[in-house]
Amino acid sequence: MTNSTINALSADAWDASSNSAALPPRTGALTDIRVVDLSRVLAGPLCGQMLADHGADVTKVEPPAGDETRGWGPPFVREDHSTYFDGLNRNKRNISVDLRIEEGQQLLRRMLAEADVVIENFKAGTLERWGLGDDVLAAEFPRLIHCRITGYGTDGPLGGAPGYDAVLQALSGLMSINGEADGEAMRIGIPLVDIITGLNAMNGILMALHVRRETGRGQLVDLALLDSAVSILHPHAGKWFATGVAPERTGVAHPTICPYETFVCSDGPFFIGAGNDRQFRSLAKALDAPGLAEDPRFTTNTDRMANAVQLRKVLGGLIGGWQREALATALRLAGVPSGAVNNVGEALNLPQVRHRKMVIECDGYRGVGVPVKLSESPGSVRFGPRHRGADTDDVLAELGFSENEVACLRGSGVLPE
């Protein structure tokens, strides 16, 4: 097939509902939005999944080798599905295209002509080499919203450098405030920088879609992992702005509130967060030690912060005789924020988590539910992650490709097996 054949396809050929009978219908707030997800690993795929959860028609485009997170295991759900991959790629149709080939790039152009949003996290300069730099995208596809995710941006002293979550946790200062006070700086136990970048990306896309309603034009939504990491340094950045002193690690304890940390019950660890003086008085009463709140060392939060070591010792003695469930009930009735320090399995089996439908099962797929609950247009999990290339034929048929044309693309290597 020639490039001219691809370019000549009708702009009205892609009807997302015309050839997807095998998959459940899309429902939610974003059913009128079409997304081409070219991204891999975490931040971009998470953004695409959230859009898909709320009804957007998201097509994930994978290279011949697939998104590398398919192999990030064990554990694996299926032969080419690690649990890591499955947590980021549900509700998306999937095609596999070799974009290094010119005809693959022309196929991508065809998809972009029909899309509202493209999400990508290529190395800086990749799209430019394909003749799809920012200026070209804006000229050829004026309504397209281009969501670009990089480690550090594309310019500046670190522009174009590869970015990885743990490295950004270190560089941004996040790692320096995580860990025990007398221990080493520690990586936060989830890929927080990637996750917050994915959330920011979705917010940026929705804002750009809102603006497009007025202007008729798309725009670049530019995300850098470094920016997202620095943006969540609260309240530590504020302390540095005010004092010029770098915050120190406080372990599980809060840097400005006391008590706000973990204690040990007779059957395991338990977290208490008394965020104000009223809650501290309620805590003392619930522990049958009302005089504690009148102790001049502990009367106000400022007093408690100054005497935190002594307070922890007193509270530790009072709490050690309680079982977690009994203490949780007593403190909940007293209005004191608290809870057992659960492991992941315990958390996913909490009755309230299940009640809120934050664990879902769908045709063999198990995952975390949709956290944003809309009363009139709720999101949903319709199907789990697809095999690489599972929907290639359907997507290309909707784009107007004939069976012979698809066969030619396969023969040329544009569509890998």
Work out the burial of residue 342: count CB atoms within 10 Å of its CB; fewer than 13 is exposed, 13-18 middle, 19 or more buried: middle
Query: What residues pair up with 35 in beta bridges, in sequence order?
Result: 58, 117
DSSP string, 26-86: P-STTTT-EEEE---SSHHHHHHHHHHHTT-EEEEEE-TT--GGGG--SSEEETTEEHHHH
Nearest residue to 124 via CA among 155, 85, 87: 155
User: Same structural domain for residues 303 and 167?
Assistant: no
What is the residue whose two structure tokens read 């759900």?
77
Residue where a domain terminates, one of 285, 311, 342: 342
Q: Which of 292, 315, 342 is the last residue of a domain?
A: 342
pLDDT of residue 16: 34
CATH number for the domain including 281?
A: 3.30.1540.10
Is residue 313 in a domain? yes
Asked whether residue 56 is domain-assigned, the answer is: yes
194 carries an active-site annotation:
yes
**Residue 253: per-residue pLDDT:** 87
> How many domains in the chain?
2
3-state secondary structure of 344: helix
Q: Are residues 168 and 137 in the same domain?
A: yes
Let me know whether 269 and 374 are in one domain: no
Whether residue 17 is contained in a domain is answered as: no
Do 198 and 78 lie in one domain? The reply is yes
User: Do residues 63 and 99 make contact, with C-beta atoms less than 8 angstroms apart?
Assistant: yes
91 and 202, same domain (yes or no): yes
Catalytic residue among 37, 86, 165, 194: 194
354 belongs to a structural domain:
no
Q: What is the pLDDT of residue 32?
A: 97
Q: Do 74 and 179 fall into the same domain?
A: yes
pLDDT score, position 24: 93
Domain range for 175 is 34-234+360-412
Per-residue model confidence (pLDDT) at position 7? 40
Which contiguous run of DSSP H or E holds residue 110?
A: helix 102-114
Fill in the amino acid letter for 32.
Answer: D
Q: Are residues 181 and 65 in the same domain?
A: yes
Q: Could you give the 3-state DSSP secondary structure of residue 351?
A: helix
Pair (291, 364) in one structural domain: no
Low-confidence ranges of the chain (pLDDT < 70): 1-21
Q: Do residues 7 and 110 touch, judged by C-beta distance below 8 A?
A: yes
Residues 272 and 399 in one domain: no
SS3 304: helix
Same domain, 90 and 161: yes
Q: Does residue 24 lie within any of the structural domains?
A: no
Return phi, psi of residue 135, to 5°.
Answer: -65, -35
- 18 occurs within a structural domain: no
- CA–CA distances in Å: residue 224 to residues 175, 181, 234, 398: 18, 30, 18, 34
Residue 417 included in any domain: no
CATH number at residue 94: 3.40.50.10540
Domain membership flag for residue 264: yes
CB 145 within 8 A of CB 217: no
Residues 344, 258, 231, CA angle at the centre, nearest 5°? 65
The residue among 315, 342, 369 that closes a domain is 342
Tens digit of pLDDT for each residue in 210-250?
A: 999 999 999 999 999 999 999 999 999 999 999 999 999 98
211 with 112, same domain: the answer is yes
User: Are residues 186 and 282 located together in one domain of the fold?
Assistant: no
